[in-house]
Structure 1
């Protein structure tokens, strides 16, 4: 799966945050985290024009980490 486009990580993030099936949430979070990490590394190479997206990526990573700790009772 190619995750280098901004919309891809956003779609995966929303799917993970909105997932209510306890049997699916861990996989969705993991997939979203992978896409977010990849996009964050890509954005490090881009000039300041992408600062807003980089901040959104960082916020999304923190949110998923909090869900892992609080809902899944596992380290982020």
Structure 2
């Protein structure tokens, strides 16, 4: 991390990712396959991109699950 801005971005991306993991549990989505927080120690570069990509995939899975729940009602 080069400066404070990079650290802040990583912190925010991590917080959003963890929040999405909690939402996944709430909607019955298996979040374990999307949880990349344990893998972040492996590489310094690209941490934010990895978090954003995983969070995006998780958001899509949650949206699909929500649609299924709504259609079942």
TM range (shorter): 0.3 to 0.5
TM-score (norm 1): 0.42
Q: Is the radius of gyration larger for structure 1 or structure 2?
A: 2
What's the TM-score, normalizing by structure 2?
Answer: 0.43
Tell me which of the two structures has the higher relative contact order, counting C-alpha pairs closer than 8 angstroms and 6 or more residues apart. 2
